[in-house]
Amino acid sequence: MVKFVDEAKIYVKSGRGGKGCVSFRREKFVPRGGPNGGDGGNGGDVIVIARQNMSSLLDHHYKQHYKAENGENGRGKDQHGKNAAVLLVPVPVGTVVKDFFTREILGDLTENGQTLIVAKCGRGGRGNARFATSTNRAPRYAQPGEEAEEKTLLLELKLLADVGIIGFPNAGKSTLISRISAARPKIADYPFTTLIPNLGVVSYNEGKTFVVADIPGLIKGAHEGTGLGTKFLRHIERTKVLIHLIDLSPFTQRDPIEDYHQMNKELEAYSPNLIRKPQIIVPNKIDITEARQKLEEIKTCFKKLRIEVFPISSATGEGVKRLIEEVGKRLEMLRN
């Protein structure tokens, strides 16, 4: 299995500019040939580029240093030094690039092929031929190349999904995404079965699709890093709609209404923008007799909050078609 890495620290350094050359034309029968020192070449930029065929920052977990080549020095006979090649650092689409020390956001790469210059090259120095004037016909100086730029960067991957499935552990997130898409996450009856976000493509309304992600590791204190907390909360920042699964199973001995409020507290504590996202409240596991009996009570509680619920069984598929139609309708409203 490919390891999912959504955060990486890397060091980048651009190329230094080549030195300008001090040189004079020396040929037979040309006693006053004049200066002919060439310019130094530019160093290489370091550019981060988004690649659609990458799904993780795993490569940067192993390789953490990226250094571009220096520009060539200038030479005599007006020969300029060669410019160094650009150094490309590929990352997955959806990567946010930050300064590691200040946490300043340098760029957010959300489209395939999008680029960001993270370390600007040093320009090559000018040779002495550039400084010849009518009053100074034999300049004996040239410029040194500019120094390289170096930075330590933090790369953070945020998944690009239209819909995020949230809920406490064992609420049925993985089962639901496996039923509505081709994604096949690990499913078991113990907490934190899912250790990485899973992406799936869901078809609806005659060929239209949306991308859905199940977000693992959200429990009380998640915004402070409890459980898998802040490691995965960032992945729902780009979503347009949230499916909020409420576990009605009697075996968990949880209070569904308390779970609903607690989850929203965690979202708001992490980012006020998350709590403003449209949520579809989905009581799950209604295939269990005790859960179905509890459903009417849950509906009444949410009705007081003026919230419509969409009960389902992600195990049997009951209510799932209606849920997908509602998600599609919400997305269409946001796009129009």
Architecture in CATH for domain 7-157: Distorted Sandwich (2.70)
pLDDT digits (tens, 9 = 90+) for 296-316: 999 999 999 899 999 999 889
Contact residues for 274 (Cβ-Cβ < 8 A; gap 6+)? 233, 236, 237, 267, 268
Closest-CA residue to 44 (of 72, 63, 20)? 72
Q: Phi/psi at 62 (nearest 5 deg)?
A: -100, -40
pLDDT digits (tens, 9 = 90+) for 56-84: 888 898 899 999 999 999 999 999 999 99
Q: Does domain 163-335 have CATH number 3.40.50.300?
A: yes
Q: Which of 113-117, 196-200, 256-260 shows the highest mean pLDDT? A: 113-117
Confidence of residue 187 (pLDDT cuts 50, 70, 90): very low
pLDDT at position 38 over 50: yes
Kindly state the average pLDDT of the residues 229-236.
66
Closest-CA residue to 114 (of 67, 173, 179, 48)? 48
Q: Where are the domains of the chain?
A: 7-157, 163-335
Kindly state the average pLDDT of the residues 111-135.
94
